[in-house]
Amino acid sequence: MRSFWGLMRAYWFSDRWVEAWTLTLVIALFTALSSKAGVWFAEASGELVNSIAFYHDAANTTPLASLLTNAGMLILLVVLKDAGFTGIRTFVSATLHRKWRGWLDSRFNEALLDTNHTHFHAQHGSSGTAAPDNIDQRVQESIKDMTGGAIGLAMGVMAVATSLYFVGRKLLETSAEVKGLEFLGSYGSAVLAFLAVAIYVPLNTWIAVKLGRLLERLNIRMQQSEGSYRGELTTFLRRSFHVAASQGENVQKTMHDRLYVDIDRTWARLNIVNTSYRSFELVYNFIGARIVAYGPGLVPYIHNRFDLKGYITGSEMVNSLISQCSWFIHVMPSIAALRANSQRVTELANAIENVQHPQEFYSLTGCSDFRYDRQNPVFGLTIQKLELTHQGEDATPFLSAANLRFRRGEWTFLKGESGCGKTSLIKAINGLWPYGRGTIVFPEGVESFYAAQEVKLQQVSLKQLVCLPGSERDYTDTQVASALHRAGLGDFIEHMADESREGMNWDQVLSGGQKQKLVVARIVLQQPGLLFLDEATGALDPEGKIAFHQAIKDNCPDVTVISIMHEAVPPRSLSGAEFYHSIVAIADGVATKKPLAPSLPVELTTILEHPRPVEERWLRFPRRIRQK
């Protein structure tokens, strides 16, 4: 699906090809019936005009009955064509649109939400190629508009083909000799009709194509502008509290105004082009229906080769032929929108395809040479010759670690100044940092869990939120209730099956601290062997942080913990025991690991907390302490 035509035909050659082709054939059948009904309509129009023209003719013994019969037949054909054939075709095409869009949407969701973390990598551009903007808009709006536009255009092509067959055949059957073109025999009027259509339609189609290219560019620009504006509104609503707390409404308003200016300018240009195109189309339709359609039959009518009925019937058929062959002109704005939408969808498809091998993708814009391996769980987690860089072939490493080993059950505290690379180190271990080199060896058969500082909750039931990344079917209600209780969220146990409370989803119901307790519930429930805490206790008070660590210590005895916190020293239990065994300190771009400094003796702690003259304090210590 990386090209326009590949995108167009993928559904028809997928595992749902029977559904796709069945709906398509039904649409083709009713398109053909609609075109055939157009011929009947032209004939009925000729009969009606003829009954009006000869209403007072002495030979017409039943003028009123003839007039009413022909008028009734014309109305019946209109109902049959528009409410019957066209109506059914519209319903089936809408069903095809729904099915096709649903299939494409599922394919893109599967591609974005795979184990490769494609949704994350696709938001990074490569050398010479920008990352696709507004992925949400491309999946939601662009796919919908593209599939709808493609079906409409395909039906137009079918209508042209069937009309050429049915209308062209009827024109040939009713054709008459034209004075001056006797060498064409009885096909003279038909040749004139086809010639008029062949000249008039392509010439105006060329004009439509020129205007259509401008419409396409403006449509792409409009989608980009609308997507950026909507994306900023969505982000703003998510950070509404922060805007209110910082009184940043004026800055936010300025940003919205700036983004909307782009929409307004593009919209103004689009309106000018659309108005010009609409005027061109109206003039084209009038000339086609009233001059071009009635011109070819006028010469044989003047020379009595046609009667009035034959002239009207032939002209209406030419008008029908022009109308059907002009589908390209009539739908040029739709074609421009289709091309714009398909371009945005294929760009996303290409971005998804490009990041299927992340290291190869990132190697285009920098060094990306990470090796991930597995080893016996006895040896724990090992990091060797790790260097982290930013984008660029010649980028200097901002963090290096020669050899770090984390044994099973060890708790390690990452320490360093803000911006030194603590979070980048954890991301690199988990395959989420793009640039650098090194070897990361995981303990075989051990599951890992990454708890970030900011917790965003999907709109699902509370039980499902606790079971993430697994399914709620993987755990019993009793297991989940126990995990919630141990994490300090026992008050919510009775609401496990609910997706919301009082009209609000759980992301709105739970406070920042409660969300981080929810993370504890996940950890307690899933018992990971490797746990990465990236400032996961930031929203908790000191007592909450102790409870957070104690819950993990009590319920996950063999877990290896690597943690980042704002504190200068890691927290201890209520009894004073250390949770952490070692520290990885990052200084001057180098990460080194060492055991946690042993606790000071109680006597020394007393000195630090209650200072007295040195000699007096020293003499108060027992001899064994003074000897040390």
**Sign of the torsion formed by the C-alpha atoms of 423, 429, 434 and 436:** positive
88-92, 282-286, 330-334: segment of lowest average pLDDT = 330-334
State CA 306 to chain mean position distance.
60
pLDDT tens string 544-582:
899 999 999 999 888 999 999 888 888 898 888 899 999
Phi, psi of 368 (to 5 degrees): -140, 90
Strands (E), 268-354: none
DSSP code of residue 289: I
So what's the pLDDT on residue 483? 92
From the number of C-beta atoms within 10 Å of its C-beta (0-12, 13-18, 19+), residue 29 rates as middle
C-beta atoms surrounding 490 within 10 Å: 12
Angle between helices 477-486 and 512-526 (to 10 degrees): 130
So what's the pLDDT on residue 478? 93
pLDDT at 412 over 90: yes
Which ranges constitute the DSSP H helices of 239-303? 240-245, 249-287, 298-302
CA distance 550 to 128: 50
CA distance 318 to 298: 12
So what's the pLDDT on residue 327? 64
CA distance 327 to 30: 17
CA distance 577 to 555: 17
Strands (E), 493-589: 500-501, 504-505, 530-534, 560-564, 582-587
pTM (2 d.p.) = 0.66
Judge whether 430 and 512 are in contact, CB under 8 Å. Answer: no
Give the dihedral of Cα atoms 63, 64, 68, 70; nearest 10 deg: 0
Judge whether 153 and 334 are in contact, CB under 8 Å. Answer: yes
Average pLDDT over every residue of 607-627: 44
pLDDT at 37 over 90: no
Q: How confident is the model at residue 468 (pLDDT cuts 50, 70, 90)?
A: confident
So what's the pLDDT on residue 212? 77
pLDDT tens string 518-530:
999 999 999 999 9
Rg, the chain, Cα only: 38
For the chain, which residues make up each domain, given as ranges?
A: 1-176+338-360, 180-305, 366-446+582-611, 453-580
Domain 453-580 has CATH 3.40.50.300: yes
Instruction: Write the DSSP assignment of 21-84 as a string of letters.
Output: HHHHHHHHHHHHHHHHHHHHHHHHHHHHHHHHHTTT-TT-S-HHHHHHHHHHHHHHHHIIIIII
DSSP lists the bridge partners of residue 399 as 388
